[in-house]
Chains A and B, each alone.
Chain A
């Protein structure tokens, strides 16, 4: 079952902030975030492990609340280059007792000048 992302789409002016949320009904091992430009492969942004940690990468950061099984991606002072579709990926426990990576439905972010 896919993680659920919200919002599905958002349009921002350059310099504005955005938050993308991701939730799952299953117990999680970790959360990954990816960005995909149109027609290209998804590119890794960051990974968050259990423990409620928060990570940052330039002006993009994320948090992981394992109790609520939710993660949020924060984009601060957005730049034109941030445009794309963002996916969260949840590592779940597979039939083999190992992790499998399942992705959310995606959030399309459009930054306008």
Chain B
């Protein structure tokens, strides 16, 4: 089954404690992306990747890092999380009508 898998689904952490949200797709897509969703602000792009070792900033990249060492994986790294990064995060891959979202990760930073 074609899918984008994010882990974890829910995460509560403390300020400053490094964390990684994983994203994996099994569709051999080149394009992958991370978004955060906040009430009234819609889906805002954090980072995206056109292929292995090719990444670029989206609209709200501050406080986040990404890496793309393999085609299937695109982890989102928060080196020093802060409360303003509390949000619902979505990973997505593909292009056009094949653009597929993961189930989301609800992150709370206290």
Q: How many residues of B contact A (CB 8 A)?
A: 25
Given contact pairs A44-B97, A95-B56, A96-B56, A103 touches B102 in the complex (Cβ within 8 A): no
Q: Count contacts on A: residues with CB < 8 A to the other chain.
A: 28
Quick check: A41 and B45 within 8 Å, CB to CB?
no
Interface SS, B side:
strand
Q: Which of A18-47 contact B (CB under 8 A)?
A: 30, 32, 39-44, 46-47
A98 within 8 A of B: yes
- Those of B87-105 within 8 Å (CB) of chain A: 90, 92, 95-97, 99-104
| Chain A, 71-109, CB within 8 A of any chain B CB | 87, 89, 94-96, 98-106
Residues of B within 8 A of A (CB): 33, 35, 40-45, 48, 50, 54, 56, 58-59, 90, 92, 95-97, 99-104
Nearest 6 CB-CB pairings of A with B? A41-B101, A105-B42, A103-B43, A106-B42, A42-B101, A47-B97
